[in-house]
Structures are given as C-alpha cells and as structure tokens.
A = this chain, B = another copy of it.
Amino acid sequence: MTTGVRRRMGVEERRQQLIGVALELFSHRSPDEVSIDEIAAAAGISRPLVYHYFPGKQSLYEAALRRAADELAGRFLEPPQGPLGARLLRVMGRFFDFVDEHGPGFAALMRGGPAVGSSTTNAMIDEVRQAAYEQILAHLEVGKPSARLEMVVRSWVSLAESTALLWLDGRRIPRAELELQLVHDFAALAAVSAAYDDGMADLVVRMLADEPADGPFGDLVGRLLDLAPRVPAQRLR
C-alpha cells in the first residue's frame, strides 16, 4: 500500500536515486561548486547517509559520469538505413541535446579542472570517444580503417567536442546550424584526405554516390560549386 508513507528504498535503488540527483546537480554547475550537503538535501536524506552509499564526492561524481557516458554513447546509436548524411545529422541532433541538457557539467569535465580530472574520468571520456569512432566506422561499413581514415574520423570526433564547447560559451550561433555544419565538416575533412589518398577517394565517392541531392552532403557540394565561379578561374587550374 502507498498511503502517503514514504517507502524505504533498497540499497541499489537508493544508489541510483543519488546518482540521478548528483548528475542533475553536476550538469548545471561545475562539480567544484556542488557540495555533498546539497546532494543530500536534493535527495531528501542526511549527509551521513550519502556517505553510507558513496565514500565521497569524487566517487559520486564518477558514478554520475558513468551514467552520463552510457547515455551519451547510447545517443550515437543510429539504424544503418538511409543516406549517411541524414543519419549523421540525427546523431548530431541527439549529441547537442545532451550537451544542452548537461552544459556546465560537460564544459567543466572536458576542460579537465583539477577537481574533476582523474585517470578514471579521462578513461570514461576516451571510452565515449571510442564509441563514437566505432559507430562511424560501422556506418561507413569499414572494418579495418587505414591510418588516414582513422585520423579523419577521430579528429572529426574531437572537432564535434570542441564545437560543442565553443557553442556553450555564449551560444551565439543557433545549434541547428552547428549540427548541420558538423555533418558538412565530416564530408569536408574526408574530402581533403580523399584529394591525396586513393583509398579515401574511393570511400568519399561511395559515400556521396548514395546521397540524395537535397541531403546535407548533396546540398553542400551544390553550394560550393555555386561559389567556385567567384574565384578567378586560373586559381583553380
């Protein structure tokens, strides 16, 4: 019966509740600024009881980060159907949703202040980067990437991070524009590599061949070809 009496939580349930409360607080302010007292108050329990479940703030922070990392990695999952540009654009939408929801915490984490940077947190960040990298390779249907493809994909993942961090600092560009820009940036970085490497050229041609003209990749190529006449012809061979 649930007649207004507060139900006593089990150990695991209480841990999960504390992690949720902590993640919410750590998402909206730098972890440095969040105290155990606040977490206890937000969870409706006493400070000593928090310590019963977690030895200290760092361990609670790491548990919250674990949950956030799993959630973010989950947002990278996208069915392997339809044009690649549209898939990547949907993933970017979910990535920016995440960044939007966890802004200050994401910024503090990625900037690696002294109170939050540890080998555990760094390992979790690397794990999410690796998940993003593997998802992209899966969508490109590439099993064993060349060193150049690996560089393109990993450096683009890093570009997505830094673009999101720059966006959080003032939010002066509409996020939808940046989501599309990052999809275009992926094509642009791949094209640069394709200009000098046959394997990358084959991949980019294959990538574009399946794209509709009105998808993000087709639209970009069309717009760039429109710009080309403005550059003196002899400059373009």
Residues in A lying within 8 Å of B, measured CB to CB: 111-114, 117-119, 122, 147-148, 150-151, 154-155, 158-159, 162-163, 166-167, 170, 172-173, 177-178, 180-181, 184-185, 188-189, 191-196, 201, 204-205, 208-209, 211-213, 218, 220-225, 227-228, 230-232, 234-237
Contacts and interface: CB of A to CB of B under 8 A. Distances in A.
B173 A184 contact: no
Number of copies of this kind of chain in the complex? 2
Contact of A151 (B155, B173, B223, B234): B173
A189 B185 contact: yes
A109 B205 CA distance: 38
22 contacts: A111-B122, A112-B117, A114-B114, A114-B117, A114-B118, A147-B172, A148-B173, A151-B178, A154-B162, A154-B166, A155-B159, A155-B166, A158-B159, A181-B192, A185-B192, A188-B191, A195-B223, A195-B227, A196-B223, A213-B234, A213-B236, A222-B236
A188 to B, nearest CB: 4
Contact of A177 (B163, B188, B196, B201): B196
A114 to B, nearest CB: 5
